């Protein structure tokens, strides 16, 4: 039977027609295959989504075309779905890495802003952006060489902490970039 344009929801009769099975067969498959679980509307009628229809068609193919037993079809369907999930994992990992990198960049900007504010409080000029992009190891040595004004020890301690955090963030970004380039083991 030809499949019409995809819809948001299908009734059990529509799915039965599309799969060329009777509605009671679909209800039986729901008890045998945990992957097939259509929602019910407030009236208690089954509402099949496109994903449910795809599962029904795959079950039908396994049982009728490939001649699997119900148990064999259940195992094969679980394997197919597990394989599909594994194929999607790299996308999920890339999203997580991207989110982490974005968060680290935002945190770095905040730390830089705090350092600038602290420098203004101490009467110093803020460091230019190019200097901020240098490796984190060079910055603490330069700070140690400068004479520290004694007027605001709390501000200096906060500035040192902010620089340490910025250095850690830069190291983390460098490590993330290096690990993203390496192929997974």
The enclosing H or E element of 171 equals helix 153-181
Domains of the chain: 12-67 (1.10.1660.10), 90-181 (no CATH)
Please answer whether residues 155 and 121 qualify as being in contact, where contact means their C-beta atoms are separated by less than 8 angstroms: yes
Q: From CA 65, how far away is CA 8, in angstroms rounded?
A: 27
Q: Which residues pair with 10 in a beta bridge?
A: 48
Could you list the pLDDT tens digit for every one of the 185 residues in the chain?
A: 455 567 889 999 999 999 999 999 999 999 999 999 999 999 999 999 999 999 999 999 999 999 999 999 999 999 988 888 887 755 454 556 667 777 778 888 888 888 888 877 777 665 555 454 444 444 444 445 455 545 455 555 555 666 666 666 666 655 655 554 555 54
Q: What is the pLDDT of residue 33?
A: 93
What's the predicted TM-score (pTM) here? 0.46
| HSE toward the beta carbon, residue 18, CA cutoff 13 A | 22
Burial of 103 (0-12, 13-18, 19+ CB in 10 A): exposed
Q: What is the pLDDT of residue 8?
A: 86
């Amino acid at each position: 039977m030809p499949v019409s344009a995809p819809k948001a929801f299908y009734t059990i009769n529509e799915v039965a027609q599309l799969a060329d099975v009777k509605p009671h067969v679909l209800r039986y498959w729901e008890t045998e295959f945990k992957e097939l679980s259509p929602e019910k509307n407030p009236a208690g009628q089954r509402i099949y989504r496109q994903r449910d229809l795809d599962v029904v068609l795959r079950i039908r193919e396994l049982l009728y075309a490939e001649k699997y037993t119900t148990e064999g079809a259940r195992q094969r369907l679980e394997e197919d779905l597990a394989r599909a999930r594994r194929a999607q994992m790299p996308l999920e990992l890339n999203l997580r890495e991207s989110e982490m990198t974005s968060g680290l960049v935002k945190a770095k900007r905040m730390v830089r802003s705090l350092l600038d504010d602290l420098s203004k409080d101490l009467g110093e000029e803020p460091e230019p952006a190019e200097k901020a992009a240098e490796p984190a190891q060079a910055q603490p040595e330069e700070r140690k060489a400068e004479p520290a004004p004694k007027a605001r020890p709390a501000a200096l301690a906060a500035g040192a902490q902010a620089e340490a955090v910025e250095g850690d963030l830069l190291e983390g970004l460098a490590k993330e970039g290096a690990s993203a380039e390496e192929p997974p083991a």
